[in-house]
Structure 1
Amino acid sequence: MRQNPARRAALIDAAIEVLASEGARGLTFRAVDTGAGVPGGTASNYFRNREDLFLQIGGRIYERLQPEPSVLTDNLSGPRTAEKLADVMREVVGRVAAYRTGFLALMELRLEATRRPALRAVLTRTIGDDLAFNLAAHAESGLPGDATTVRLLYFSLNWLILERLTLPDALPEEDVDALITEAVTRALPPGRRL
């Protein structure tokens, strides 16, 4: 297997685009080569098989979804209030939704994981790690809410993002901020709500 990290990343990024636009059936080495603008046969030099490619896509998506350090700093500046938590959730929803192909490719990976035990194991670990990171970061941040708040927001806002990206006409864009505020309000324990 080839070891050029920049080429490997470009191939995985192309695979994410293919997966988001063509689905799992369209994810071929040829399609990845074409998407990356490299000679035919290049992807097969970097990935043992499609299973290997599927396994690496999920990690790359999460890598690209990570906020810049300045965003984390901004998210933790100011008072630790319910309003601040709603602002943080708006930033997260906006950032994740902005990486449309990554999020859609992740949904394709989740569907494919129902048929591929190795992929299911990797995604279960990756998504579990992401949720654990969010739980720890929230506890450290001093923002209001508990572990249940984080879990409720994590799962409900992920579905909100999916809805916006797959059926954008089902939810008017002007309703998104109000829904995020309401999700935060309802997820917070009584006495800490907006």
Structure 2
Amino acid sequence: MARNPERRIALVDAAIEVLAREGARGLTFRAVDAEAGVPAGTASNYFVNRDDLFTQAGARIHVRMTPDAAEAEVAMRPAPTRGLYVDLMRWLVRRMAAERTGYLAFLELRLEATRRPALAAELNRAVRAEFDANRMLHLDSGLPGDSDVFLTLYLAMTGLMLEHFTLPEVLADQELDELVATVVHRIIPED
């Protein structure tokens, strides 16, 4: 097994690009090698099999999608109001749009996890850890609403992003920032 960590990251990032563009069926070692611009056979030196490649892509996707800690700290500085929640959710949408490839690859990984137990375990671990961390941030920050409000907002925003990235024409007559505000205003209690 090859030990160059920079090349491994480049290969996993290439796998994420392939997933977003071609789906799970298109994720082959050959496609990853071509996307990464490395000699044929390179990916097979870094990953035991496709399951390993999928699992490592699942772990890497969260690194790519996690906001910079300093940016998150700045975003949380204003008073914890419903208005701040609208701003935070808009920030989330902008970050996800900026990492569109990662988000689409993540959707592919979620579907593939229904067929690959190791990938399912990795995604369940990573998504649950992120969910718990965000719920604790919500509760500790003084933002309005309890744990159930956080859960409802999480589910609503997940659905909104799924719709936006996969079938954008369905809500094309709606401004995305206004949809976000509507979701937050319907779920988060007034200040």
TM-score where L is the length of structure 2: 0.94
Other-structure match for 1:193? 190
CA distance in 1, matches of 2:93, 2:149: 16
- Comparing 73-82 and 59-68, the one that deviates more: 73-82
Report what 1:32 is aligned to: 32
Aligned residue for 1:52, secondary structure, equals helix
More deviation in 132-141 or 51-60? Answer: 132-141
Q: 1:122-149 CA deviation, whole Å, 9 max, x = no partner?
A: 2111111111011011122221121112
Separation in 2, partners of 1:103, 1:134: 18
How do 1:157-172 residues align onto structure 2 when only pairs under 5 Å count? Answer: 157-172=157-172
CA-to-aligned-CA distance 1:36-59 (integer Å, 9 cap, x gap): 000111100100000000001111
Distance of 1:173 and 1:127 partners within structure 2: 31
Structure 1 contact 148–187 (Cα < 8 Å) conserved:
no
CA–CA separation in structure 2 for the residues paired with 1:19 and 1:143? 36
Residue deviations 1:149-175 (CA, integer Å, cap 9, x gap):
221122211221122222222223752
1:69 Cα shift? 2.2
Cα distance in 1 for partners of 2:174, 2:129 equals 32
* 139-148 vs 76-85, which moves further: 139-148
Aligned to 1:5: 5
Deviation of 1:70 (Å)? 2.7
Q: Tell whether the 8 Å contact from 1:14 to 1:32 is kept in structure 2 after alignment.
A: yes
What secondary structure sits across from 2:43 in the alignment? Answer: helix
Q: Distance in 2 between matches of 1:79 and 1:123?
A: 33
Whether the 8 Å CA contact 1:186–1:193 is kept in 2: the answer is no
Shift of 1:97: 2.3
Partner of 2:100: 100
**Structure 2 gap segments, 5+ residues each:** none
SS of 2:9's equivalent in the other structure is helix
Number of matched pairs: 191
**Residues 1:73 and 2:73 are matched in the alignment:** yes
Partner of 1:64: 64
Structure 1 runs (4+) deviating above 3 angstroms are none
What TM-score do you get using the length of structure 1 for normalisation?
A: 0.93
Partner residue, 1:129: 129
Aligned position for 2:118: 118
Unaligned regions of 5+ residues in structure 1, if any? none
Q: What is the RMSD computed on CA atoms of the aligned residues?
A: 1.4
CA distance in 1, matches of 2:4, 2:146: 43
C-alpha separation between the residues in 1 aligned to 2:7 and 2:83?
Answer: 43
Work out the percentage of aligned pairs sharing the same amino acid: 51
CA distance in 2, matches of 1:144, 1:56: 36
